[in-house]
Each structure stands twice: as structure tokens, then as C-alpha cells.
Structure 1
Amino acid sequence: MEQALLDAFQENIALIDTDGKIYATNSAWKRFARENGAPKDYTDIDRNYLSLLTATGSFEEAAGIRDVLSGSLPFYDSSYACPSPREDQWYLMRVTPLKEQGVVVGAVISHRNITKEEQQRREVYDVLESMTDAFYALDPEWRFVYLNDQAATLLRRSKEDLIGKNMWEVFPEAKKTAIYPAYLAVLKSEQSRVMEQFYPPLEAWFEIHIYPRGSGGISVYFKDVTDKKQKEFKLWETAHFDHLTGLPNRMHLYKELTAKIKEQQKLGIFFLDLNDFKMINDVYGHDKGDELLQQVASRLKTQLGPEFFISRFGGDEFVIKTDYLDEEQLDQEAERIASCFHDAFWLQGVNGFHVTASIGIALYPQDATSVDDLITKSDMAMYEAKKIKQTHWMYYSTSMAESWNRRLRLEKELLPALQAGHLLPHYQPELDTVVQQVVSLEVLARWFHPTLGFISPQEFIPIAEESAQLQALTEGLIQHALKDFIYWQHHCGYRGMLSINVTSQLVSEDSFCEFLVKIKKECGVADGLLELELTENMQLFESPFIQQKLRLLQENGFRIAIDDFGSGYSNFSYISEFPIDKIKIDKSFIDYIGESEKGEAVLDSLVLLSLRLGIDLVAEGVETEAQVHYLQLRECMLMQGYYFSKPIPAEEATTFLQRLLVNE
């Protein structure tokens, strides 16, 4: 009965006593010995199995069996390869104690064929070792039970250093990262998880896939994604930072403000715009303009420090964010920002020059509760500050909304007003006071709005400039004025000039210069009868490109006049070299007459200078007979001002010219 029971088992089974002597085997044991070429009595009954193992060098297995027989081990397992004539096979030997009344009286030796399992295990091993991903397995006590070569490479440790060791003891810094709670969550929930984590000691980013193991513990597949993360960061940096200045860009600013507003954190926003930046671009070139923007950004970062979020909003506009405490703090911070423009900027190959900035301030949540509204209101305040023409700041106030809405309305209605006849040229004559003849009629734009009434040029001309409508406005006024001019020539015997106010920026535009030459030719205006008046500024005198354009216009029959001379960027060294036909002395000098001896001395010097250079000289803003008399005594005979006529519409200009024609 006992033998039949043993023969029923497929495993190779032998029973041994406490001395290791075989006293029973099953048919599978005998067949295994016979098929694998063992001597006939090699493992037969009465042979000592411990002696056989020792004789064949299997000392570890013999020791394991002795430990089971002595009661030191509850069981013993050992896997081994067993070459056979047909194929290599793998077996698992298991030793289990036989007990009677709790006392070990022998053991059961079983050998189970595990070739299929071992082949599968080796296939898995080969897969794990050949994977480009790194892999390791941890038991429930966080000990490494396996890792492949790629894992050892990425972790920069040998397999021998890690197998059997607690992960958190070997890599203590990992426990301080999000890796530990993620591993713990997978171990407890038995649900997989994917994460990316930077590990500082290895200075590397890893993509980590964590899976629960059926036998307890976790399996971890991971790979180094540092290159990918660096590329992602580069893309993020490109999307969120300005390439020219290195400052956060508009997108980054909006995200920053959105996050702070979501936290309901009080904020102060400084909207900063560089004054006359376009002129710097036109005079020195866009590369110098870019260099200036870089220097402004660098100075803001250096002088303001990390407590300010400094961004480039676009063009020459910067937006600076600070945490808001009270108005006194904001005043101090506004002064710090303004102080960044106290010193001159030095560009390569260019003398140092000062740049001013206009700054608008808006607060969250007092002034606005959304990012767009906050930016808009700081922009409104900046435009109010810009009216002062120096580095200055202003806080947003509700009254600015009305001014802003008016500005937007005028910007929208500007060109339609020209087409509808609400924005028309007026004319102010220049007279030769010796013969009492009009030598020129200056074109001045006047806007009579049907509901808003008279709108000053000081208001709508800057709007036209800032909204890129100045060229269209100027060309439309010139076309209208030329019709009046030709009419006066034919019906009033007018032989004087038509003077047109243009900016140096317009002259720098090829399309505008082409328009001037074309319309002069189309209207049949003789050379020397169209005069272009430009207000003196740095752009006019220091830009070789604009000077070249002016000379080209002179060659095409246009005269060049400098308006408001002495009021701005007066550089007398340029007068003898610059293509100038006329100088118009600013009204501020005329006001010195009879009021200031020093002022009169300056005026006398200007008159004398123009006479010696052979340049026509016109005194602007003449309002009294005493001023007329003073200027005539100094041989300044060309004058313009309210003493003779204010700017008048075309109909009145016609009457004015006809009256002078009769007096002749």
C-alpha cells in the first residue's frame, strides 16, 4: 500500500532515515536514474544519500538535508541543472521532514522537473536584461530581489551592491522625493502608477512605471528622460521667456498673474513704456534699439531684485508685478523703478543718452479683478503719465476710464472724420512784412466733431501716431490742401508756397516720400512751392537715412524747413551741413522781446546766424506790434502769428488772399 502511494506521485521521491540512508523510492525515482545513466545501485535502497551528495561535491545540498533532519530548518529547497542525453533539464529538490509524535524520524526527498518553469524564467530574465528600460523588483520589505543591467547602469551601482539591500537605506535621498509615497501607494493599493521625478544625487530625470507584484512588493520599470525633460524645458522656456531680454514674456506674465489672483493675493502692477523709443530705432537702427532694450531689462533686474516679477510685455513695454502692501510701499517701489532711468545708457559706438519712461500703476483687487482688466487699467494710467513727457508714474483712477474710452473713440473715428469732412486743413499765413505779401500758407489740421465739438491737434495727432494712422491722415490732408492751393493760384493770383507739417518718422517711410513726389507731379506744382516743415529732434539731425531722404526730396523740388527751432534738440553744429532752406524760430524766443535782455540776446544771435548762413528765417508766434518792430529792426522780415492771422479755414484764407491782392 505504501509503495503504491509513492508510485502515484510524478515527482522523483525517496525516503531517508535520520542517518541519510534511503529506505524507500518510487518508480519515478528509479526511472530517472536509469534514463540519466546512473549506476544501477547508485541511488537504490540502503544507499546513504548524504554520502552520495558529498561524494559528488553537493556539499550545500547535503548540509541543507542535515539541517532538516536535525530540526534546524522546516524544509529545504534547491534548484539544479541536470544534463540528460536528450536535453538539459532543471529540477527542484525539496526536503521535507518526516515526524512521529513531533520528533523528526527521517525526510522525504523529492525532485520535481521544473525545466519548463526555468525556461520561462530565463526567457523573462533575457527579456528583462535586453530591455532598454531599466527594471528592478522590491520585496515587501523594500529589499532588492532583482535588477537588470540597465538598472544597475542608471543607478550607478553594481547588482552585488544592491541585491538584498533595503532601497531607502541605499538611496536615502529618494525617500525625500515623491518616489517614496508613490511606491507606498502602489504597495498598499495594488494599483499601478506612472510618474516623472528628478533625482538630485544622480542629476537626472526618470520616467517611472510602478506595478504591484503578485508575491508582494513592487516591480519598477524606469528610464532616464533627462534629455527629453531638457528639451521640454527649452520649449517651455521659449514659450514663456522673451528671446531678446531673457525676461518672462506676456504668456508667462498672464500665468503668473492668474495664479496670484486665484490665490487672492494683493498685487501691484507697473506698466512701463519707454518714451520716444521709435525715434531711437530710426536714428541708430533696430540693432541699437534691441541693445537698449537688453540694457533696460538688465538694469531693471539688477536694481529691483528678485522680489519683483519683471516681464517684457512687447516692443518697448515692460510689466512689473509686486506684492501689494500699501500705497506708501508702492510709491517707494515706483521711485525705485524710475531711478533705473536716472543714469545714461551707453550703446556700442553711440554716446551715452538718457531715456525716460512712463509708468502706470494698477492694483488688485482695488482696481480690477481679472488679469486683462488689470493690464488694461495699468495701461490707461501709463498713457496719462506719458503726457508729462518725463519719467513719471501715475495710479489708475476711475476718471481715466472716461479718458481712455474717449481715446479709443477718437482712434476709431479719426480717418472716417477726414473722409466725412469733419477733419479739415486750416491755414495760417507767413508774411513778408516789408511788402505785406503772403509768402507761405502753413497747413494745420483741425477736427470739429459733430458731438464732441472741437478736438485739439495736441490730442488727436498723438493718437494718430500711436495707432499707425498718421501717414493716412497726413496724405489725406495734403490732397485736400493741394486742391485749395491750386484754386488760390488760379483765382487769387497766389504766388507763395504751401507749407506742410510732417514728422521725421514719416519722411523715413519710402511710401510717404514716393507719395509726395507723385502728387506734386500729378498736381503740376512747380519746384520750390511745396515746403515740408519738420520739428527738430534727435531723429532728424542724427539719422543719415532721414537726411538722405530730405536731400532726395529737395532734388525733387521740395523745400525743407525746421519748425519750432530752439525748443527741442537744438544742435547748431548741424545747421550748416543739414539740407535746410528755412528756420522757424519758436514762439518762446519771440516772447522774450521786451521781457528778457538775455532772451533777446539769444534771439538776436539766431537771427544773425541765419542771415550769415543765407537761410530764410521766420519768426513764429508774433502777437504784438512791438514784436514786429523789434524783428524788423534786426532784419527778420518773415513773420507768422496771431498779430497777422490765426489758422483759418479755406474759405477765409481765400478772402484773406483776395484782400491782399486788391491792396497790391
Structure 2
Amino acid sequence: MKRLKHISITKKLALYLLMTSFLPLLLFGVLILNRTKYIGQSEVNNVIYAFLSISFLLIMLLTSIITRKYLYPVKQITKYFEKLKNGTMDLDTRLNVDSKDEIGQLSKWFNTLLESLQLRDKSEEALLKSRDNYRKVINSVQEVIFKTDLDGKWIFLNNAWNEVTGFSVAESLNKYYWEFIHKDDIEKNKLLLVSLFNGEIDYYRETNRYITKEGELKWIEIYVVLLMDDDDNVIGTSGTLMDITEMVNLQNQLSRKADYLYEVAKESKNDFKRTIQNIQNMVFKLKRNEDGHFEFTLVEGKIAEKFGLVTENVYGKKPDEVLDKSTAIKLIIACEEVFKGKDSSFEFEREKETFYVTLSSIIENEEVVEIVATTTNITELKKAEIKISKMAYYDNVTELPNRVLFKERVDFAISHASIDNSSLAIVYLDLDQFKFINDTLGHSSGDELLKRVAKRLKVNIPKEAFVSRMGGDEFNILIPFIDNQKEITYIANDVLDVFQVPFIFENKEYFITASIGISTYPLDGQDFESLMKNADMAMYRAKENGRNNYQFYTNTLNIVAHERLDMERSLRKAIDKNEFVLFYQPKVDIKTGKISGSEALIRWIHPKEGIIAPFKFIPLAEETGLIVPIGEWVLKTALEQNKKWINAGYADLTVAVNISVKQFQQNNFIDIIEDILKETEYNPELLELEITESILMQDTNRNIEILNKLKKMGIKISLDDFGTGYTSLSYIRKFAANILKIDKIFIDEITNNETDTAITIAIMNMANSLNLKVVAEGVETKEQLNFLRNQNCNEIQGYYFSRPVPSIEFEKMLIEGKNISSV
């Protein structure tokens, strides 16, 4: 019987057929011949019946044996192939191998395939873990690389998304990822995402069906990890989508081959070989020969075919006879590891491509008898890793190192400085006019400016210095091995000199300056964060000192910073605590001498500091965004108060309210104005909104639209501090303001300085030609008043008539009928 195990299925079936058909017939014939001489016809019939019964039982018994011995194993193999196709196969499962015929060989191969797939999964998991540090992606990667926010909306997709799905990146961003997934796959994907966010898993890989723009289904393998910010807060997810439709189709082909195997088991070996030959990767096997050397026993797959390494060419050859020396050595070392019972892997390069090899053992009787390995082309993955690494450490606009790499360099420099007792400096640079360029010329010009600044900085700093871009318009420079502060001063001046040459945009010269803050190690900080914070404070001091200069950090700056934080905390509570009040400065009609209106001016009554002037807290409110709720409070309070005076009989009394840049930039600015007018039931024709020239220079088309809406409502637009900014006559025509307010700096010397006199006259003549009302601010003397009266100025405002006063005092002036002639 042992010898029967080595006989092929075909020979076994022939032998069984012989036993069940020919031999019984032969015996039957002999019996009949012998018996017919002695018995009658009835007895012959009985013998025939007995023989047929016995033959039928033998056939049934043999059919059962064949079914159990051959058809059941084939059916079992087919069942496992179906599970493999559906992705439900437990890779730890193994088929029993109890014969060395085709069925036995097929079972052994299937076990080897399962082991290879197990090793592939482990290898892929290890490979995926090596990419955990890479957070960003680039468009040239063949795999789709994505990011989503916490709500599951795409916030980044590379161009591969379009190639895989047909949808453009632009039309897909800000849409939920599940809008592109087959409805039957959405729920399991969301459950995995919940597990990821809950920390139950570090990542997940899943296969989903995606629906392309053409309505086709594509099988996509998803790899998802959490997306973190610099403070390790979860801000969404990132990962890759790999189109595995072809692989799934290949698996379906394998499934069909398995079905075919059920019908024609003896041809399964040839079917498997054809399948292996069509795999995009390379599968190979090695065994140790009698001399102890490794030799190839199988090499198949598209990669093998590409390099001419198919089984027919390399069977029985050693690695160093087939591969280059370096790769052969790597393979031999890996094989030795596998024969010690360990899985192994390595990378090699061939023809400018990179390949990843994973090896595992084939064990019989608890001994390694052969090695099976798979080879995958990871060239694109390697390129992606390099590009992702660059994205992680370099700014994509200027190509300078970013904050991450800058911090690594600073930490390294600090560690060396602490050992050799040397010093280093951090230079914190902020461009002063960047926002103007960005808003006026557009973001593309802003990016171009950043590139040019980066180029100039790299050329004009010492070779040992290290420059980076933090983001926005901020740059940092690390200067190691400094001997004294004078050396830093020279470098800082060189950096400022970089900006002496104008930048050319659209054939126009633009002069950009920089404010610089400097901190030094170990005097101003012992670590990266401290040095950066103190350099940042010094930079803000440079801005406060007029910009275009540098400042070293001092302890005084730290005190000022704490005072600033205290003021910000108090400012946030001031509205709720009713600490703000409005003062009103009268505006006087020059012709009648009577009060025609007022300008509402905010004051802060601090419980400890007393009255705080606007110039001390308004800039902080602008910076923090608190100016928006404060501005709304001012407008509502001013309208409520002025309405009381109107109802008291001062019917034409106007009130002017200043509008900040941040208020004006709100998308719902018009809605806010309408709501306050409706709430206070105030007549918009008696409201003047004062805006500065700087507002007009930003997003002009939008501003024209907003101002036109305000004018249609009946609101008057007053251009404040006219003459101190960039506004030209053409802008005034575009924006169609109602009122021009001449700034105090021109009024101060209007009777003494010919230039100020000429400017003021020109402004008033221009305003008259455009039918604009002219208001002169800061009138403090009778001579100034008389000059303005002679030039047909409409209204004046200033200490000559009255300083800003509380509402009670303003009301008293109204009641008393205070006139400018009585001053």
C-alpha cells in the first residue's frame, strides 16, 4: 500500500476500474463454464444474479473510496480557494498532506502559499510601521495620499486621486470620504475609524469598494493612521489608498482556476504555474544542496521574467551565479537566518529600481527543508518616502528648512554648546510690509516675495548659520559658535541690509523692511522653546520701535509681555463687567457755529488702573480679535444714546462711529449693521461710519460692494485720517465716500507750514469738486478755525471747541446751545 501513494491519480483510477470490471467478468466467465456442465439453467441464473449483486456492492464500495480519497480533498482545496478569494481565509489553516501524488503536491503547494501570504502580511505591516513619521504627501506618488479632518472630510488629496477615481481634487476636497465608498462598505469603515480615534488600534488596513466618476467599482486598499499637530493633538487622519482592482481581479482568476481544479484536478499544477507566472511580483524558492550551498528551485513572476530569472534559466544555480555580488550576499545571509528558524527580509537595487524581499521557511518533520520568498518592487514607495521626508522637514514655498528641522538643528547646537561652553544666537525675523503685498498684489506675489527673501538671506548669512521659515512672513536664523554680542550685531545689520534693495513686482519697486529679535544661549534661555519665545518678544519690541531694526532680548521685555497678558485677560472681561464707556466729541458746523453731530470714542474704566486711553488697548483688541465684539458694543451704544438726543428735539444730530479693519473684513458685516439698526430703530441717514484708508486698499472689489450696500441703506461713509495713507483720487471716486476728514497732522501747522497749508487747500478743493463734506480734525486755535472757514471747510472737530466728554456733559452743551462764536 505504501507504494500506491507514489502512483499517479490516473494509474490508480485505471487499476480500480480493472479491479471492478475486468477481473470480476473474467472470474464470472470461468465459473459459468465450469458450472454449466453440471447444473441446470435455473441454477445458472441464480449464479448470475448473485454475481451482479456482489459486483454492485463492490462498485458502490469503490465509489465511496474514490470520493473519500480523491474528490473530497479536491473539494476541500476548492473551498479554501473560495475563502482566500473572499478574504475570509484563516492563514493559520493548513491542509493535511498524506500522499505524494498530484493531490498531495497540490495540498503542499497550497500550504506554502498560505505561509507566503502570512509572511507578506507581516512584512507589509513592518514596512507600514516604518512610515509612521511621515505626515505629508506629494502629488507625484502613484498611490492616493490623503488627509481628513475630524469630521471625515477630505482636506488633502494628491493627483493620484484623479487617476484612480476620475474625480478631480478640487471637486472632492471638503467632501466626506464615505461619499465615494460603496454603501455596503461604509458602516464597517466608520466602525474602524471609531476604534482608531478611541485608541483601540494604532492604524487600520481595510479593503473597500470605491465608486469612480464613471460609476465603475474599484477595489481600494486603505491604510489609515491618526493625524497629529505639533502638540500631539489629534486633528484628523492621514493615509494611503491603493488601487488593488487588478490584484482582486487576479484573485478572482485564481478562484476560477480553483473551480476548474474541482472538475479537472490533474491539471491544477499547470494552472498554478500559469497563475504564478502572471503575478506582478516575483516568487522564488531555494533549498540547501549536499554541499551546503543554497540553490534555486523555483523563480516565477513578472519581475523574474523582466530580469530573465525564470525557473528554466536558474534551476539548480547558486545565488552568486545568478545575482550581482552584493545582492547574492544579502540573499545568502537572509537564507541562513531562515534556516535558523527566523523570518528575514532585505532590500536590493537593480536597474535603478528598488526591490523588497521577504523569506520564510518550509518545514517538514520540524526541519527547514526549503525557503520560499517573494519580491516586491518598492521603487515608487522609496521615492514617496524621500519626498514625504522632504515635506516633513522643508517649507514647500521657499524650500527652506521648516520649524521641525530648525528645532532639531537648534537642539543639536545647544547640546554641543553645553559641552564646550560656547554660545549661540537665535534671530527671529518678521517682514513688515508683507500683508500689504499679499493683499494688494495677490497671494502669488506674496509667495514670490517669500522666495526672493529666502534667496537673499541664504546668500548673505555666514556659512555656518542655518536659516529656516517658520510660516507666514517669519524666518529664523541659527548662529552657532558666537564669541560676543558685537559679532551678532554685524550679522543682524547684514540681514537688514538685504532689504535695502527694492523688490520688483509688475515693473514697480516695493521697499520691504524687517523687524528682528535676537536671543542668545545660555543667557536668554536653555532650550529651544525659551530661546524662540524670547527672540519673538524682542522682535515685537523692534516693531514697536518703528520697525526696520533689531532688538536683543532683555528681562524688561518679559515684564512687558506679562503686563500685556494681564491686559488681555482684563480686556476679555471688560464688556461683561460694563467697564467700557463712550465719550462724545462735538462736530461743529462752521457756518452756523452750532453742534451738528458727534464722534463716539471709547474709554476703558479699569477697576485698578482707572481710565485707559484707546491707544493703549485698541491695538491689543485688534490683534486678539476682541475688537469685533467691542466694535459692535460701541455702535449699538452710540446709536441708542444719539436716538435719545434726537427724540429730545435735536432731530438732525448725527453720530460718527469708527469701524476697524477686522470688523470690515467680516463676511456678515452688513448683516451686523442691519441687525443693530433694526434693534435700536435708528435712522441710518444720521449714522456716519468712519473707515481708514488702509481698509480701502484691501480687496477693493469686495469693499466697493460693501460700501455701496451701506450707502443704499442711507449710511454716510467718512474717510478718516485722509492724507496719511495710500488713497488716490481714483480710489475716492471708486468708493464714493460722503465725507473726508483731514488728519490733525496737517491742521497743527496749517497757519505756519506752507506745505501743510497747500495740502489742506488741495484736499478741500478736491472734496468740493467731488461734492464731499470736509471735516477738519484737531482744531485747537482760532487761527486754524478762521483759515478753515475761509477755505469753505464744512465742519470742525477739536479741543478749540471741546475735548471728548461723557454723554452728560455733551447733553449739557446741547441744552445750553453752545456755539463756536462763544468760545
TM-score higher than 0.5:
yes
In the TM superposition, 1:325-404 aligns within 5 A as 325-326=481-482, 327-339=485-497, 341-345=499-503, 353-388=510-545, 390-404=547-561
Classify 1:489/1:600 alpha carbon distance in 2 versus 1 (closer, same or farther; 3 Å): same
Query: Paired residue for 1:459, among 616, 621, 627?
Result: 616
Q: Which amino acid in structure 2 is aligned with residue 579 of structure 1?
A: A
Matched residues in 1 for 2:452 and 2:305: separation?
40
Query: Which 5+ residue runs of structure 1 have no aligned equivalent?
Result: 1-115
Matches within 5 A, 1:75-86: none
Distance 2:333 2:777 in 1: 85
DSSP 3-state at the match of 1:554? helix
Q: Does 1:568 align with 2:718?
A: no
Letter in 2 for 1:204: T
Rg comparison, structure with higher value: 1
Q: Does 1:598 align with 2:755?
A: yes
In 1, Cα distance between the equivalents of 2:346 and 2:785?
85
- Choose from 475, 486, 497 the match for 2:654: 497
Q: Kindly indicate whether the alpha-carbon contact (under 8 Å) linking 1:269 and 1:362 is maintained by their aligned counterparts in 2.
A: yes
Alignment partner of 1:324 is 2:480: yes
Q: Which of 289, 303, 310 is 2:443 aligned to?
A: 289
Q: More helix by proportion, 1 or 2?
A: 2
Question: Distance in 1 between the 2:412 and 2:284 partners?
Answer: 38
Give the equivalent residue in structure 2 for 1:225: 378
Quick one: distance in 1 between partners of 2:287 and 2:579? 84
Deviates more, 1:249-258 or 1:622-631: 249-258
Report the CA distance shift for 1:608/1:322 in structure 2 as closer, same or farther (over 3 A).
Answer: same
Range with bigger deviation, 564-573 or 190-199: 190-199
1:203 CA displacement: 5.0
Counterpart contact for 1:618–1:636, Cα < 8 Å: yes
Residues 625 and 662 in structure 2, CA contact (< 8 A), matched pair in contact too = no
Q: Contact 2:627–2:660 (CA<8 Å) still a contact in 1? A: no
Alpha-carbon separation, structure 2, partners of 1:448 and 1:192: 77
Task: State the SS of the aligned residue for 2:576.
Answer: helix
Task: Work out the CA distance in 2 between the residues paired with 1:297 and 1:195.
Answer: 43
Q: CA deviation at 1:172?
A: 6.4
1:525 aligns with 2:678: no
Aligned counterpart in structure 1 of residue 592 of structure 2, from 428, 435, 438: 435
1:410 is aligned to 2:559: no
Q: Deviations over 1:50-84 (max 9, x none)?
A: xxxxxxxxxxxxxxxxxxxxxxxxxxxxxxxxxxx
Q: How does 1:119-518 map to 2 (within 5 A)?
A: 132=282, 149=299, 153=304, 171=325, 202-204=352-354, 206=356, 223-242=376-395, 246-258=399-411, 260-261=413-414, 267-275=424-432, 277-278=434-435, 283=440, 288-301=442-455, 303-304=457-458, 309-314=466-471, 316-326=472-482, 327-339=485-497, 341-345=499-503, 353-388=510-545, 390-491=547-648, 493=650, 495-518=652-675
Q: Does the aligned pair in 2 maintain the 1:492–1:661 contact within 8 Å? A: no
Distance 1:193 1:149, change over 3 A: closer
Normalising by structure 2, what TM-score? 0.55
Q: Secondary structure at the match of 1:510?
A: coil
CA drift at 1:294 = 4.5
In structure 2, distance between residues paired with 1:191 and 1:550: 80
Q: If the length of structure 1 is used for normalisation, what is the TM-score?
A: 0.67
**Structure 1 residues 322, 516: CA separation in 2 closer, same or farther (over 3 Å shift)?**
same
**Separation in 2, partners of 1:453, 1:199:** 76
Is the 1:194–1:209 contact (alpha carbons within 8 Å) kept by the matching residues of 2?
yes
The question of whether the paired residues in 2 share the 8 Å contact of 1:143 and 1:163 is answered with no
Query: Per-residue deviation at 1:614?
Result: 2.3
CA spacing shift, 1:485–1:362, aligned 2, 3 Å = same
Contact 1:501–1:532 at 8 Å: present in 2 too? Answer: yes
Equivalent position SS for 1:575: helix
> CA offset at residue 191 of structure 1?
8.9
Aligned-residue offset at 1:350: 9.2
Residue type of the partner of 1:273? D
Matching residue's letter, 2:282: T
Tell me the CA shift for residue 546 of structure 1: 0.6
Shift of 1:378: 2.6
**Cα distance, 1:236 vs structure 2:** 4.2
Cα separation, 1, equivalents of 2:548 and 2:308: 61
1:134 & 1:346 partners in 2: Cα distance? 62
The count of corresponding residues between Structure 1 and Structure 2 is: 539
CA distance in 2, matches of 1:190, 1:371: 48
Q: Does the 8 Å CA contact 2:335/2:359 hold for their aligned counterparts?
A: no
Q: Deviations over 1:470-507 (max 9, x none)?
A: 21110011112222212222347363211111134422
C-alpha distance in structure 1 between counterparts of 2:486 and 2:292, whole Å: 58
Please tell me the root mean square deviation across aligned C-alpha atoms, in Å.
Answer: 4.7
Query: What SS does the corresponding residue of 2:517 show, helix, strand or coil?
Result: strand
2:287–2:297 Cα contact (<8 Å) kept:
yes
For residues 157 and 549 of structure 1, the distance between their equivalents in structure 2, rounded to whole angstroms, comes to 72
Q: Partner residue of 2:187?
A: none
Indicate conservation of the 8 Å contact 1:624/1:643, yes or no: yes
Letter in 1 for 2:446: L
Q: Give 5+ residue unaligned stretches, structure 2.
A: 1-99, 117-272
CA distance in 1, matches of 2:357, 2:445: 41
Distance 1:201 1:264 in 2: 45
The SS at the match of 2:426 is strand
Letter of the 2:450 counterpart: V
